[in-house]
Structure 1
Amino acid sequence: MNQQNFWNQRYADEYYAYGTLPNDYLKEKSADLRAGKILLPAEGEGRNAVFMAKLGWEVEAFDQSTAGKNKALLLAEHNDVKISYTISDVENIRYPENSFDALALIFAHFPGEDRRIEHRKLSRFLKSGGLLIIEGFSKKQATFQQLNPKSGGPRDVGMLYDLEELKEDFSDFEFIEAAEQVVTLAEGEFHQGEASVIRIFAVKK
């Protein structure tokens, strides 16, 4: 099954696979930020996009899942906000360079052989002084998956994050926070329980 079909199948049900509430780390980091324009890659069913729109941000999101987009727009309508949502994979997405104030990669995992290329591409869309917020599963998540499959993350270890590799991917950023830690996730059906994640908060130089 290709990635697009996988995600369309996961998002096919009426319920929201990862819930309708925002990711905790994004919520924490955005609390004191002045609203601007934010890009949310691999946004799925829209929980983070809708949350940022409610804070007054101009939101651009993309994902390869049509089912995800449909549910994201429905969630936005229910919350009386507007988001812009494009159907695309990261390889083919296009935005003007230096056009976003923030980039949030929330469990946005790309194939290992393309990861650095795609991360650097996405970072070019961000203005100098723009903010980068990342939460994703670390390489150690493979062990947590064995203990609890519902803890989440790609089964392909090559798609899991390594902190030093991420720092190299975003080498033109100043890192305010960059840590690997164990957290307890409670995000819908598929992010439940203890998980090993990497969290990054950085500013583009």
Structure 2
Amino acid sequence: MKSFWDERYSAKEYIYGEEPNVFFAAELRKLKPGTIILPCDGEGRNGVYAASAGWTVKAFDGSEEGKAKALQLAALKKVEIEYVTGDAATITYPEKSADAVAFIYAHLPPDVRKTAHQNAIKWLKPGGVLILEVFNPAQLNNTSGGPKDVAMLYTKEMLQKDFELLETVLLQTLVTTIDEGDRHQGKADIIRYIGIKNKTLMLRAWGLVVILRQ
């Protein structure tokens, strides 16, 4: 996968554009800036946007070419981001160190996806927010981008299971039109998710608290 993305990101242009994902930008505007972790941030469009909005950005991707273009974009926009190359299955950040984590079209093999999503929950502070936008299996019928392997496309049920320790604020399947560089153009079948790390839910899941109701 590293060689695949290095080749794709070696193009001079930003293949997914220089502007942030619309959903990500809209949700970020609702939050007080803090520290955000962006897995699989590619060419950096979302990380750079977050930095321009006052966030401390910690981004990673497996591609050196992606990192180089992200830092180039950050310099162009006159912001700073922390961007490292790393594997989504093994990269680590301190627990409870992030106010937000965002997965924007971060499509991963099933075992890596589960690990990455579990890690994201650990990285979030209590009250932290997880933002996600991905393609669902119906995207295989479209030409607007995304993996061609159904195992790397996500369902609502899959995300409910992965993020069962979070308080779900939004879990929506929809058909939309995307306009993100040359690679994301046209009709798309997507899922959007927002979850909050709720301390009570975490304790309940660990069997450490009993909720008494009148």
Q: Are 2:37 and 2:59, in contact at CA under 8 Å, matched by a contact in 1?
A: yes
Corresponding position of 2:66: 68
> Paired residue for 2:22, among 9, 21, 24?
24
Q: Does 1:47 align with 2:45?
A: yes
Corresponding position of 2:109: 111
Corresponding position of 1:94: 92
SS in 2 for 1:199: strand
Q: Does 1:177 align with 2:170?
A: yes
Deviations 1:102-140 (A, max 9, x none): 000000011023322221122211111100100000111
Amino acid at match of 1:56: G
Cα distance between partner residues in 1 of 2:111 and 2:135: 17
Corresponding position of 1:12: 10
The alpha carbon displacement at 1:94 in A equals: 1.0
Cα distance between partner residues in 1 of 2:140 and 2:3: 23
Q: Does 1:191 align with 2:184?
A: yes
Q: Does 1:152 align with 2:152?
A: no
SS in 2 for 1:44: coil
> Paired residue for 2:131, among 130, 133, 139?
133
Cα distance between partner residues in 1 of 2:64 and 2:97: 25
Cα distance between partner residues in 2 of 1:156 and 1:123: 26
Moved beyond 3 Å, runs of 4+: none
Query: Rg bigger for which structure?
Result: 2
The alpha carbon displacement at 1:92 in A equals: 1.8
Cα distance between partner residues in 2 of 1:91 and 1:159: 15
Cα distance between partner residues in 1 of 2:99 and 2:120: 12
Cα RMSD of the aligned pairs, angstroms, is 0.8
**Stretches of structure 2 lacking an aligned partner (at least 5 in a row):** 199-214
Cα distance between partner residues in 2 of 1:166 and 1:92: 20
**Stretches of structure 1 lacking an aligned partner (at least 5 in a row):** none
Cα distance between partner residues in 2 of 1:118 and 1:72: 21
Matches within 5 A, 1:32-43: 32-43=30-41
Q: Are 2:88 and 2:112, in contact at CA under 8 Å, matched by a contact in 1?
A: no
Corresponding position of 2:212: none
Q: Are 2:89 and 2:115, in contact at CA under 8 Å, matched by a contact in 1?
A: no
Amino acid at match of 2:172: A
The alpha carbon displacement at 1:175 in A equals: 1.1
